[in-house]
Amino acid sequence: MARTALLHGLLAVLFVGSLVRVAPAAQPVESILPATTKLFIATLDVDETRKKFQATQLGALSQDPLMQPFIEDLKKQISRKMNEAGNGMGITWEDMEGVYGGEVALARIQPDFKDKNSYAMAVIIDITGKRAQADTLLGKIDIQQKKEGATRREVKIADGLNGVEYVQKVRAGAPRVEKDYYFIKDNFLVATDWYPIAQGMAARIGNEANKDSLASIKAFQYSMERNAAVAKQDGLNYHVRWFVEPFGFLEASRAANRREAKKGPDLLKILQTQGFNAIQGVGGYVFFDTPDDELLHRTFAYAPPIPGEKDKYKLAARMLKFPNTKTLVPQTWVKDSVGTYLTLNWHLQDAFKYSETLIDAVAGEPGVFDDLWASMKDDPHGPKIDIYKGLVNELGERVSIISDVLQPVNEKSERMLVAIDVKNEATVRATIDKFFKGDPTARRREFEGHGIWEIENEQTAAAGGPMLSIEGTETEFVAAEKDEEEEERKLPNMAVTVYGGHLVIATHYDYIVELLKNVKDKKPELTTLKDFTRVETALNRLGQGNDSFRYFAKTEESYRATYEMLKQNKLPQTESMFARLLNAILDSNSEDGNRENEIDGSKLPDYAQIVKYLGPTGLFVQSEEQGWWIVGSLLTRDPVATGK
């Protein structure tokens, strides 16, 4: 990816290194960035943000001597990877200290909205009172750029304003000639890798009323104003604020990663044509070390109704119906042993109906959705199931998901169980039995008279047809093809049953058995857990009550599988949800299908030595006319020691 050294280094230094006290910028950086900004991260006061983060238990973890070998090695790994990518600066993070005099922002930009392959990045730093330090930094960058073989020249940025352009040596696989631009205007140091972006930002400095800035985007305005209003009520100052336009960000990241889309359906494009671009933007505030929380985050996902549409959204996006209720409390079968618990309201029957156009689009032809269910009903060799009478019409409107981690930890240690409310257990059970009875990969097992279907899939994803996957450093959606044997993956095993008014689907047969045992033995429920009560109290204080989603996690359990696999350098093979997310973010070089560790975690301390820093967390979501309001809190592990 064509990221300049300055962009990499400045982003890293936001989180690593000691910085000096700064003052707010006179002009908000969103009025300088272009309207085509797709990702925005900013802080008004780097020093205060760092101080507050260090006051949290996660901050204490980062400063624990046990973590220092890994952290120091991680710095070297990042520097080495930057150098290998042609982005090395040859200077330390310490060299960059003291440059900040106000607000700092990082942005991913899609310069030409008509060109989905255009991409750029930018960094803006208020250097009020720090001009000498900024000049020193630019001097060091100049030395390193020349050392790397870049060609330097002065270029006109605006009338009366020149900047510096560095043209990098041509690198194999680069989609364009890589150029970096730096200039200082008024009290802002600006760096970008797209010349027209540099010109536009220079023109907007000193002019907040621009109609072509990020500040003019309605989704940005709404999410920031909503967060600001609530923060004002609480008397809190944010430490980090952020905004992302999801589809534009993914398009720009895909282009920057120089990934060639594989054959098959492009889910990123399909989701947009199916109406999911109704989600125009997502933005929020993050607060560290509040009087009550280790970390508090608030987010608004802006997705207003589409004018002229009968429903709120169009096509498959109409499945985004998550009604609020006051009854999203844990069910009695959810025990205190769970690692995570997510529960939500969803109009499942509507979601099934509205998925028709999405399934057809992925398949590449109309009618596939209807043909699938018709063949299941009428094919003489099929299960002879009426999917609507036997299942869809019996679906309720609540879904709950629990997970935990088996020890000792391995690649498949994370267990997950999904429970979907159903109206008539007998009807759904008969449908499930009929469906799996003729499946050679399924076998019916019993636990104390209760039937459970266990499905052991030896079939690979490629052998079984298209499978949606995540590709690239940033998320890219493509489809696996049958001829891509090097990327074949086995479909996951699962177990299915009907129990307690729910259709239950689990990753492990034993997880269903354990659930049944726990209910029979009347094990303590999640609601009796002290940490759950603490999180509920915090979320109620923050506005929980009439919600569409609720979530609770013991972070010492939810992080365990990913941490242990990272320490063993087996993260790419790990099947936990968090590990999959990290793999999607970190795996930048998997063209050959062989996923490699992007981070060497061998110097991490034993997990038992860091769990003292990991407290419980939770969040809630409330559906609104303009989108979704999301609020979450991370609490300290030891409330007695910290006083909160």
pLDDT (tens digit, 9 = 90+) per residue, 133-157?
999 999 989 998 888 889 999 999 9
Where residue 573 falls among pLDDT bands split at 50, 70, 90? low
Q: For 10-53, what is each residue's pLDDT tens digit? A: 444 443 333 333 344 479 999 999 999 999 999 999 999 999 99
Q: Please report, for the chain, how many H helices and E strands are present, in that order.
A: 20, 22
Residue 420: pLDDT above 60? Answer: yes
What does the mean pLDDT of the chain come to? 86
**What does the chain come to in residues?**
644
Q: Are 81 and 2 in contact (CB under 8 A)?
A: no
Q: For 292-328, what is each residue's pLDDT tens digit? A: 999 999 999 999 999 999 999 999 999 999 999 999 9
**CB-hemisphere CA count at 13 Å for 309?**
13
The predicted model gives 324-344 an average pLDDT of: 98
The contacts of residue 285 (CB under 8 Å, 6+ apart) are 227, 228, 231, 238, 240, 241, 297, 298
The predicted model gives 80-104 an average pLDDT of: 64
Where residue 610 falls among pLDDT bands split at 50, 70, 90? very high
Residue 38 CA, distance from chain mean position = 15
* Amino acid 480: pLDDT: 38
Residue 222: pLDDT above 80? Answer: yes
Residue 168: pLDDT above 70? Answer: yes
Least confident range from 202-211, 258-267, 360-369: namely 258-267
Where residue 357 falls among pLDDT bands split at 50, 70, 90? very high
Residue 261: pLDDT above 60? Answer: no
* Amino acid 572: pLDDT: 67
* Amino acid 22: pLDDT: 38
What is the share, in percent, of the chain residues with pLDDT greater than 90? 69
* Amino acid 405: pLDDT: 93
Looking at the whole model, is its pTM more than 0.85?
yes
* Amino acid 8: pLDDT: 45
The predicted model gives 186-212 an average pLDDT of: 93
The predicted model gives 374-393 an average pLDDT of: 95
Where residue 578 falls among pLDDT bands split at 50, 70, 90? low
Euclidean distance between CA atoms 516 and 643, whole angstroms:
39
Where residue 640 falls among pLDDT bands split at 50, 70, 90? confident
Report DSSP state, residue 599: S
Whose CA is closest to 355, among 372, 342, 341?
372
Euclidean distance between CA atoms 303 and 315, whole angstroms:
15
Instruction: Identify any residues that bridge with 497 across adjacent strands, giving them in sequence order.
Output: 504
Which residue matches tokens 């730096």? 182
Least confident range from 131-135, 366-370, 616-620, 639-643: namely 639-643
The predicted model gives 68-97 an average pLDDT of: 65
Where residue 241 falls among pLDDT bands split at 50, 70, 90? very high
* Amino acid 599: pLDDT: 76
* Amino acid 588: pLDDT: 45
Euclidean distance between CA atoms 596 and 587, whole angstroms:
7
For residues 2 and 623, the model is more confident at 623
* Amino acid 65: pLDDT: 96
Whose CA is closest to 502, among 424, 606, 587, 416?
424
Euclidean distance between CA atoms 511 and 558, whole angstroms:
16
Residue 417: pLDDT above 70? Answer: yes
Q: For 113-122, what is each residue's pLDDT tens digit? A: 788 788 999 9
Residue 89: pLDDT above 60? Answer: no
Three-state SS at 305: coil
Least confident range from 80-94, 265-279, 378-392, 405-419: namely 80-94
Euclidean distance between CA atoms 545 and 537, whole angstroms:
11
The predicted model gives 167-177 an average pLDDT of: 76
* Amino acid 23: pLDDT: 41
Euclidean distance between CA atoms 202 and 362, whole angstroms:
43
